[in-house]
Structure 1
Amino acid sequence: MRLVAVTRILNEDDIVEAFVRHNAVHVGHMIFLDNGSTDRTLAILKALKDEGFPLTVFQTLSARFDEASFNTWLYRLADQMHRADWVIFLDADEFIAAETETSLAEALAGRDDDDQAITVPLIHYFDYAEDDRTEPVVPVRMRWRMRAPTGTYKIFVRGGLGTRVVIDAGNHCGFLDGRMLPAPLDRRIGLAHYSRRSGWQNLHKIVNGWLKILAAGEAAMAQGWAAHYRAPFEQLRDTPGTLVGNPLYFSPGADRSIAEEAPLAYRGGALRYTEPADPALKALELLLRYAEQLARSHGRLIDQSVEARRLADGWNAERRFLF
């Protein structure tokens, strides 16, 4: 059985090497679509490919939110070029966690032929003050996860469905011939999810995520995509001290009433290409680079479109009486 993992990625050099080494145990090939990384993500992926890992990397430099089209393109690439039996949708902070006695391939091979897709639960891990911050392997460092299921799921889709399939933003669901793709839940498989790896990394993620939505225009906002970034973005914008000045935000303690120590059985081995970095300085650097990318995209639009320049000139000419 041929399993192909597909992943959109942006500035994940602290976790991407462990992601590849662990998940390659479960899948036969990995396809990445880079969204313009400015850290060491691409250098690490190139080193892993040179080492012999079966992976392919593409890039798009879109500075705005366009997840559904990217996800659907990745499905079709895995289906048509790699003849995937199953396409495994993974974010770069998600690690396959199959039951000990059941590999991912075995679990999928046992599915009924009528199952064209399945959903699997996300298992959310969080950074805590108890973590050994000198440990470079994220799933080894972050040992604490939420006790209760979060109700968030990701979709895996059977190959062979071609252009009939559209994968929605977030890889949470799909559509077949315009209708919701049935995807029964399989709890034998989970995805260990390391979305927040430090307070500074989380602040960068919030700002970057919401700016992408704003850059995509009203249609993206109306769809509610990435809406979970809006409130913390506005909190950081309007009252930054409530986050940046809160030491518990950067070094939270594990609340044992809702969290349990249950580390993932990491299967990727030691890292060779991941370098330590100061999370605060990295967050600042990446945000400035993304702001520059957005500004350059705006400038290109003004330079190449007469209509865009006319609209911008009209906006700039507006004067409003205030008081």
Structure 2
Amino acid sequence: MTRIVAVTRILNEDDIVEAFVRHHAAHVDHMLFLDNGSCDRTLEILKALQDEGFRLTVFQSASASFDQIGANIWAYQMASQILGADWVVFLDADEFIATPHAVPLVTQLPEGQVAACLPLVNYGQTPEDDEREPVVPWRMRWRFAAQNEVGKVMLRGGLPGVVMEAGNHGVYQAGAKLAAPRLEGVFLAHYPRRNGWQVLQKIAAGRLKALAAGMQGEVHSRHYASPFETLRDKPWELFEGRYLACDLERRDGVEAPLAYLGGSLQYWQPSRPEMKALQGFLQFAERLARAHGRLADEVPQAKGLVEAWNAKREFLF
């Protein structure tokens, strides 16, 4: 019997994680989560779902910075070697597998291939969405008519020497990129923006986390750079403009609701988006600052660099 394991790095997704788990129980045999320091109810909900009987395992990374590639390699090896995956599918918590007629993913796996690509289909927030509906795929029914070419990779377990790209958009083995043809009729329904406040918090924290990792983070976070700079330098353009409003008008979209397989939610709780975003960002910023402080206190080389930096004086004018 073919065994599929889903691998998900997660951070502060308590508005969508329960629906994610309930939906994917129909498609995968086990879910492996690597939490990056959630401070909302994400971990509480995952524990409740595990106690309910869902097959999931949760690890947490103490790192406050950015190492997507290393985390991806670790998660792939864990899924392959410990959880016995025949196939590993990489998903974010806002990505939901969609198959023709909602059949199980295992029936759609490619024969004779070691990797496959699941294209992302982006869904947007419309003025008509019922904000009282907690199940995101039931609430957000409209996708953008124009779609991009971005996809997420899934691959066979147990392959030696594989390295996943940051973002899980491709995979390399022995320095060569593996062919990953698209699965016919299979895609990922992508819900990156459930409200404007959630996106602003994600941009701010994501950019700071990447910058804290040095040059590697700078390279892999360029998509955050421009909106972060606007938020930093011209916040009125976001708060006084249309940014916090819905991002999809129906004339620009297609009504194509996901065949959500998870049923209703038991652990979701309502919250105020603006308060949730502020709390999440400040908790993340504090954790990042404390991690920097521990380096300065505990690592001799880092302490010397900090002292040299503090002692440096530059003439400005």
TM over 0.5: yes
Counterpart position of 1:82:
83
Structure 2, unmatched stretches of 5+, are none
Given candidates 222, 225, 228, the residue that maps to 2:220 is 225
Q: What is the DSSP-based 3-state SS (H/G/I as helix, E as strand, rest coil) of the residue aligned with 1:216?
A: coil
Decide whether the 8 Å contact of 2:69 with 2:166 is kept in 1: yes
Structure 1, unmatched stretches of 5+, are none
User: Shift in Å at residue 112 of structure 1?
Assistant: 2.3
Aligned partner letter, 2:37: G
Decide whether the 8 Å contact of 1:130 with 1:254 is kept in 2: no
Counterpart position of 2:198:
201
Aligned partner letter, 2:233: D
1:62-141 to 2 correspondences below 5 Å: 62-100=63-101, 102-108=103-109, 111-113=110-112, 115-141=113-139
| CA distance, structure 1, for counterparts of residue 10 and residue 250 of structure 2 | 32
Aligned partner letter, 2:77: R
CA deviations over 1:171-208 (Å, ceiling 9, x no partner): 10011122111111123210000111100000001111
Given candidates 263, 269, 277, the residue that maps to 1:275 is 269
| CA distance, structure 2, for counterparts of residue 118 and residue 165 of structure 1 | 14
Given candidates 189, 192, 197, the residue that maps to 1:192 is 189
Counterpart position of 1:18:
19
| CA distance, structure 2, for counterparts of residue 94 and residue 101 of structure 1 | 15
Decide whether the 8 Å contact of 1:137 with 1:271 is kept in 2: yes
Counterpart position of 2:143:
145
Given candidates 171, 174, 177, the residue that maps to 1:177 is 174
| CA distance, structure 1, for counterparts of residue 272 and residue 102 of structure 2 | 39
CA deviations over 1:5-24 (Å, ceiling 9, x no partner): 11001110000000000011
Decide whether the 8 Å contact of 1:120 with 1:187 is kept in 2: no
CA deviations over 1:56-79 (Å, ceiling 9, x no partner): 111111111100111111111111
Aligned partner letter, 2:291: S
Identity fraction in percent: 54
Aligned partner letter, 2:21: V
Instruction: Describe the shift of the 1:220–1:253 C-alpha distance in structure 2 as closer, same or farther (beyond 3 A).
Output: closer
Given candidates 233, 238, 244, the residue that maps to 1:243 is 238
1:155-166 to 2 correspondences below 5 Å: 155-161=153-159, 163-166=160-163
Aligned partner letter, 1:44: I
Instruction: Describe the shift of the 1:257–1:159 C-alpha distance in structure 2 as closer, same or farther (beyond 3 A).
Output: same
| CA distance, structure 2, for counterparts of residue 123 and residue 92 of structure 1 | 14
Instruction: Describe the shift of the 1:56–1:203 C-alpha distance in structure 2 as closer, same or farther (beyond 3 A).
Output: same
Aligned partner letter, 1:242: E
Matched, 1:234 2:229: yes
Instruction: Describe the shift of the 1:101–1:231 C-alpha distance in structure 2 as closer, same or farther (beyond 3 A).
Output: closer
Aligned partner letter, 2:180: A
Pick which of 95-104 and 21-30 moved more: 95-104
CA deviations over 1:134-155 (Å, ceiling 9, x no partner): 1111111111111132111000
CA deviations over 1:263-300 (Å, ceiling 9, x no partner): 11111001001111111001100100111011100110
Q: What is the DSSP-based 3-state SS (H/G/I as helix, E as strand, rest coil) of the residue aligned with 1:61?
A: coil
| CA distance, structure 1, for counterparts of residue 141 and residue 126 of structure 2 | 9
Counterpart position of 1:58:
59
Aligned partner letter, 2:107: E
User: Shift in Å at residue 4 of structure 1?
Assistant: 0.7
Counterpart position of 2:283:
289
Normalised by the length of structure 2, the TM-score is 0.97
Backbone CA RMSD of aligned residues = 1.3
| CA distance, structure 1, for counterparts of residue 179 and residue 87 of structure 2 | 15
Decide whether the 8 Å contact of 2:203 with 2:227 is kept in 1: yes
Counterpart position of 1:29:
30
Normalised by the length of structure 1, the TM-score is 0.95
Decide whether the 8 Å contact of 2:102 with 2:259 is kept in 1: no
1:33-52 to 2 correspondences below 5 Å: 33-52=34-53
Aligned partner letter, 2:167: G
